Structure 1
Amino acid sequence: MQVIGVGFGRTGTYSLKSALERLGYGPCDHMYEIAEHPPRIYRWLDIAMGHSADWDGLFAGYNSAVDWPTAAYWRELADHYPEAKLILTVRDAERWYESTQATVFKRSPLARPLTWLAERKSPALRAFLAMDRMSVEQRVFGGSIHDKRHMISVYEQHIADVQAEIPSDRLLTYNVGEGWEPLCGFLGVPVPDAPFPKKNERSGFSRESNKHIQKLLASR
């Protein structure tokens, strides 16, 4: 593991995944990547349930990891991979909160019955949703995922904790809107002759998420 993204979801983590892979640090793990490989869902679920983690086995074949659930275990991963560089993706706290409520934590009157039906049909989706609830909603936010003051407080405290505990020469605090230069400078690699990837914007979130949900529904 060469690079670990320790920023919360909805801070440009999918764009960072694409950027790291473009720079030669792929494959890069991400929540979507986990959904693509159902056996890994159960390994993450075991960790979320408090079982011992085989980090090397879990990340076998990956050279980097970003997004949740990785960011929920940033201390453990920073300790386990002491040579890895850490990237803390950040954005304006208010905009981050609004993005979470419009995407990953969106309220919907149909969500509960549809989720119930989907979980009955697909054990893999059931495990995925359980892993997400335990490792992100509960572990990171204590279940209060719609309380704006609480969410922003957790978000800002996370940034402060990472910056206080990780040496500055090992950590890049990074807004993906800054483009290639800070990222490439931190990693010591040339700047690509290509636009910085812009992925998973709010307008396309549902389409991307539904694609992965359909794959989970088709798996057993």
Structure 2
Amino acid sequence: MRKVFCLGFHKTGTTSMYYALGLLGYRVSGSLLENTSDFAVKLHQKTADVSRKYDAFQDNPWPLLYREMDALYPDARFILTTRDSAAWIKSAVKHFGERDTPIRRYIYGAGSPLGNEEIYCRTMQRHNSAVRDYFATRPDKLLELDLAGGEGWKKLCNFLGHDIPDIPFPHSNKAGDPSGHR
């Protein structure tokens, strides 16, 4: 089974991708990072080892490692989950509030999205552009997927070469949905 790396930032459907890829038979790794100040040191110690144990990867630090994972796994596929910037930052502020974490400081230069909305949006847009540019000459390796916009099984399964499951696409961590699914 080819490795699959999800490159979208949090609140773009990363948890939904965790469940969807699991339903397709992938062994999925979630976030590797502990919210400690030495996470950057631990990052490179863990990623190569963890990437051998699983088939699919989502959440931090994987969006930051697409170049390294592409070099390590030349036949891997990459999925950039995207979302409208205004809806994304609203969701991030609601979800994270003032909570400050080292990984968000590392990614955005600010640990909390609250009061840093412009910085967060610019950083996400730069990341998405960098991913698109990196894979521009190899479009068969990158799928852009907007789960909030209604994309799901059809586009994902066509890209990965799987049959479409006869169940609804899992939508998790949806604001206002206590069950986590819709």
Where on the TM-score scale, by shorter chain, does this alignment land: which range? 0.7 to 0.9
Q: Percent identity?
A: 29
**Partner of residue 116, structure 1:** none
User: Aligned in 2, Cα 1:41/1:76: closer, same or farther, shift over 3 Å?
Assistant: same
Unaligned runs of 5+ in 1: 35-39, 112-128, 209-220
RCO higher in structure (CA 8 A, sep ≥6): 1
Report the count of equivalent residues: 173
Structure 1 residue 160: Cα displacement: 0.6
Structure 1 partner of 2:24: 23
Match of 1:160 in 2: 129
* Equivalent of residue 142 in structure 1, options 96, 109, 112: 109
Alignment of 1:67-216 (within 5 A): 67-103=59-95, 105-107=96-98, 133-134=101-102, 136-143=103-110, 145-146=113-114, 147-166=116-135, 167-176=138-147, 177-203=150-176
Name the larger-Rg structure: 1
Q: Could you tell me whether the CA contact under 8 Å between 1:47 and 1:53 is conserved in 2?
A: no
User: How far apart are 1:52 and its partner, in Å?
Assistant: 4.2
Q: CA RMSD in A?
A: 2.7
Structure 2: which amino acid aligns with 1:16? M
Equivalent runs, 1:29-44 vs 2, <5 Å: 29-31=29-31, 34=32, 41=34
| Structure 2: distance between partners of 1:184 and 1:15 | 14
User: Compared with structure 1, are the counterparts of its residues 138 and 76 closer, same or farther at alpha carbon in structure 2 (3 Å cutoff)?
Assistant: farther
Give the counterpart letter for 1:191 in structure 2. I
Trace 1:35-74 onto structure 2 (pairs within 5 A): 41=34, 48-49=40-41, 52-74=44-66
- Stretches of structure 2 lacking an aligned partner (at least 5 in a row): none
Structure richer in helix, relative to its length: 1
Letter in 2 for 1:180: W
Deviations 1:152-192 (A, max 9, x none): 11111111100000221100000122121000000011111
The 3-state SS of whatever aligns with 1:24 is coil
Q: Distance in 1 between matches of 2:43 and 2:166?
A: 44
Report the residue type matching 1:90 in the other structure. Answer: T
With the length of structure 1 as denominator, give the TM-score of the two structures.
0.69
